[in-house]
Structure 1
Amino acid sequence: MKKWLLILLLFAGLGLKAQQRPQYSQYLLNSYLLNPALSGIENYTDVKVGYRQQWAGLQDAPKTAFVSAHWALGNEYLWANALSFQTNGNDPRSRSYTQNYTASPAHHGVGFVAVSDKAGQLSTTTFDISYAYHLQLNNQLNLSLGVAGGISRVAIDINALVLENPQDPALNNTANGRLLPDLSVGAWLYGANFFTGLSVQQVLPQKLSFSGDEKYYTGKQVPHVFLNSGYKFYLAEDLNFTPSLLFKYVQNVPLSVDVNVKMGFKDRIWVGAGYRKQDALNMMAGFNINHLFNLSYSYDFTTSTLNQASKGSHEIVLGLLLNNVYKVVCPQRQW
């Protein structure tokens, strides 16, 4: 029996609890993937398209592709404060920006995210629509509350399964896929130079089995909890340094901890590094090309026992800043 088939049967039929959401190394640049409260946080329509190859060189290793977009509703996104620039292309993240920062007015935000994740013979496709309301707590502080809902399709490629026993009873009356409801909630507290967020994905636990036999109905989707926070320091007028932490909790699975640092110069170019406990070291870099495009790449060096077979993980993300009326080059609230 293939090793990935064994993993699949454990996950879907025997009730193993594990991280069921995709892994991302560049979460700092697109926390919207983890938290719907970021819907409409920017002064423009923020679009991201990304692809991740996990554990390159390992047969049937996870591959993830996603597209996300979110924007503010109405004209409130044109708030007249430190985000409104007198000339095109001013650096929105210079030290003077934080000194003159004022919180955005209360406003609504919406968005969507579509994710396709495949590992071995198991694939998951999720589509969610999000909504958030951004409260103005004071002149320099906002709190956003968000929710996202949609559907998730979990499927198995039966024709790709190789069995020692073709009559395995766990596959009697097997269905190719299951449609399940999906729900996420989150909160995001942010100011000029810091953020803290808490979110829960897969809020609604769902039974998960591909067999028609009820005795194999022990697998299920479980909630995933994310807590992340970061703070931007200025080493010089045009040089900043942002350390951040991400904690991921899934029931009956060891707590996952990501530690990251990111250094930016004039918010045109940036480099970063991170460590994921008992999993990987990663290196990242990005370039804000102009007021429409930005591009980033990360590479993970596997530190777990999988490094004997894995050649590391690759992740590339293309960003678009649509309806960018102030022609800013750097994402203002994506760190």
Structure 2
Amino acid sequence: MKLLNKITTLTFLFFGLLSFSQETLPIYQDYLSDNVYLVHPAAAGIGECGKIRLTARSQWLGINNAPQLQTLSFHAKFKEDSKAAFGAILFNDKNGFHSQRAVQGTYAYHLSMSKGNVFNQLSFGLSLSAVQNEVDQSTFSGDPQVRQIIESDFYFNSDFGLAYHYGGFSSYLTIKNIFLTAKSNLNSEFDALNLRNYILGAGYYFGKNSKLQYEPSFMVQYKEQTGEKIVDLNVKVYKQLKGSLLWAGLSYRSSFGGNTFEDATYFSPILGVNFKRYMFSYTFTKQSGDVVFSEGGFHQISLGMNLFCAKRRLAACPNINGQLF
């Protein structure tokens, strides 16, 4: 019975692995919690503050070996008036008996084109990452065909991105996993997987002088290997209070097309608060569709702190002006 449970768990985790872990860093709704840099390298140092962000995500609660993801990131300008910026990400992604640990470094350059009182900026970013893949079969038992060992290897990859901001408008274009160095098996004799992912996103922030501020946005992904398309439709609402900022968001994600296990949709409500230089948010993701791995949903907590804040620049979206309004 225990062996049957392991096989069942391994089966759906394998399909989850195909859907989610064939990325250097899996892309969820983290970016909506003032963490755009996790997806787009051009966002490194893009605002007037350096930003530390810590996230912890847990999926399919109540199921053994369910996916877990933790990320720690920091990005800032080299100095206050510098056009150049840097960033770094550490992450641990565990999915069943497979795990990834990685470090990523980023260099970004921001070209200001502002005239008058309108923020206008073009940005470029390049990230390099080193990833350790590991498969842990040491807990397998009862099947002589499965070797009870731990295997691991390394691969390297790179992301390149562009960003353009104009007033309350923000946009990003990123190509992730440019190199074809991830292997289809831990054995390096196998051909490399094509993990390339094209990401386009844009949003608009408005209502600065109103009781509430709004920021609708979208993000589209296209995965070259599978032909899968992923579309996010998002909206965030902000409420300014004395010394703090309350905000809430809702994200709808649809995954469809290509050589994937099953089309799927996800709904993610998000609640957050900014207090002085600190940020906290909670995200809950509920899956729907013909195939649902768990009724429990996915939970994520994000913590953040802004550092080395410079004098506020021209009016722009919250990702640029990270301090309280």
Taking structure 1 as the reference length, the TM-score comes to: 0.79
Q: Distance in 2 between matches of 1:207 and 1:40?
A: 28
Change (3 A) 1:39 1:20: same
Matching residue within 161, 164, 167 for 2:145: 167
Alignment of structure 1 residues 1-335 onto 2, 5 Å: 2-6=7-11, 20-21=22-23, 22-28=26-32, 29-76=34-81, 107-139=83-115, 140-161=119-140, 164=143, 166-167=144-145, 176-210=151-185, 212=187, 214=189, 217-218=190-191, 220=193, 222-234=195-207, 236-251=209-224, 252-266=226-240, 268-277=245-254, 278-290=264-276, 292-307=277-292, 309-326=294-311, 332-333=320-321
Q: Hey, what's the Cα distance between the residues in 2 that align with 1:124 and 1:75?
A: 35
Query: Could you say which structure has the greater relative contact order, defined with CA pairs below 8 angstroms and 6 or more residues apart?
Result: 1
1:95 corresponding residue in structure 2: none
Aligned length in residues: 295
Q: More displaced, 233-242 or 35-44?
A: 233-242
> Which residue is equivalent to 2:3?
none
Shift of 1:40: 1.1
1:117 and 1:124 in contact (8 A); partners too: yes
Question: For residues 3 and 221 of structure 1, do their structure 2 counterparts lie closer, same or farther at Cα, with a shift above 3 Å needed?
Answer: farther
Three-state SS of the structure 2 residue aligned to 1:135 is: strand
The answer to whether the Cα contact below 8 Å between 1:178 and 1:210 also exists between their aligned partners in 2 is no
* Aligned partner letter, 2:274: N
Offset from partner CA, 1:127-179 (integer Å, 9 cap, x none)? 11101110123423111001011201111112034574x235xx69x761111
SS where residue 282 of structure 2 aligns? strand
| Cα shift readout 1:88-137 (whole Å, capped 9, x = no counterpart) | xxxxxxxxxxxxxxxxxxx1110101111000000011211101110123
- 1:5 and 1:162 in contact (8 A); partners too: no
Percent identity, aligned pairs only, is: 24
Contact 1:175 1:210 in 2 (8 A): no
Contact 1:279/1:302, CA 8 A, preserved across alignment: yes
Aligned mates of 1:301, 1:175 — CA distance in 2 = 33
RMSD: 2.9
1:293 Cα deviation from its structure 2 partner:
0.8
Contact 2:157 2:177 in 1 (8 A): yes
Is this contact kept in 2: 1:25–1:315, CA < 8 A? no
* Comparing 258-267 and 301-310, the one that deviates more: 301-310
5+ residue gaps in structure 1?
A: 78-106
Is the contact between residue 149 and residue 184 of structure 1 (CA under 8 Å) also seen in structure 2?
yes
1:288-333 residue CA offsets vs partner (Å, 9 max, x unmatched): 112x2111111112213454633001111111011235599x7644
- Aligned counterparts of 1:69 and 1:152: Cα–Cα separation in 2: 18
Name the stretch that deviates more: 217-226 or 254-263: 217-226
Other structure's SS at 1:32 match: helix
Counterpart amino acid of 2:121? N
Match of 1:56, SS state, is coil
